[in-house]
Amino acid sequence: MTEDLYHDIILDHYRTPRNRAAELDGSHVHVHHNNPLCGDELDLRLRVDNGSIPTIDAVAYDGEGCSISMASASAMTEAVAGRDLADAEDLAQNFRAMMHGEPVEREDDLLDGIAFSGVAKFPVRVKCALLGWMALRDAISTFRDGQDSSRVVHEEPTL
């Protein structure tokens, strides 16, 4: 029953992507990641409200890839929009733990990201589900390093 529901959620994000755009007004950082195992390609852009607590003001992804990779990136953008950078990194760590079959403390905060929990059973698809979240972690560290507006290309997601 739950697996059917999760399947529907993944399909919904694939067919009706959230925050999917090739550009983002005022973007501070842009990273490109791919997953050669599957051929997934992903661009991620962040606009950061750089106040006393830097916060994700807007996030957009674009790319081409399998339904798991694109739907997971879509669900990720909804889960992290409006969060401060450290909080978003922590949430990415939670998603990564879930993909490795480890306990997750912040299930509710993952929003639709929880629908990808079943993907952990298919090791070959785990990198697909992680692609967007790993790009997010990279975009945040790139922003922190002061490489504003840079384009960073990574051949494989860091697991």
Q: Give the binding site for Zn ion (CB under 5 A).
A: 38, 40, 66, 69, 128
Q: Is 17 left (phi over 0), alpha (psi -120 to 50) or beta?
A: beta
In the complex, least distance from residue 155 CB atom to Zn ion, rounded to whole angstroms: 15
Q: Is 19 left (phi over 0), alpha (psi -120 to 50) or beta?
A: left
In the complex, least distance from residue 17 CB atom to Zn ion, rounded to whole angstroms: 15
27 or 69: whose CB is closer to Zn ion?
A: 69
24 or 130: whose CB is closer to Zn ion?
A: 130
Q: DSSP code of 84?
A: B
Structure tokens at 79: 């889960």
Structure tokens at 56: 């994700």
133 or 143: whose CB is closer to Zn ion?
A: 133
In the complex, least distance from residue 64 CB atom to Zn ion, rounded to whole angstroms: 10
What stretches of 46-122 show up as alpha helix (H) in DSSP?
67-80, 85-99
38 or 111: whose CB is closer to Zn ion?
A: 38
In the complex, least distance from residue 117 CB atom to Zn ion, rounded to whole angstroms: 17
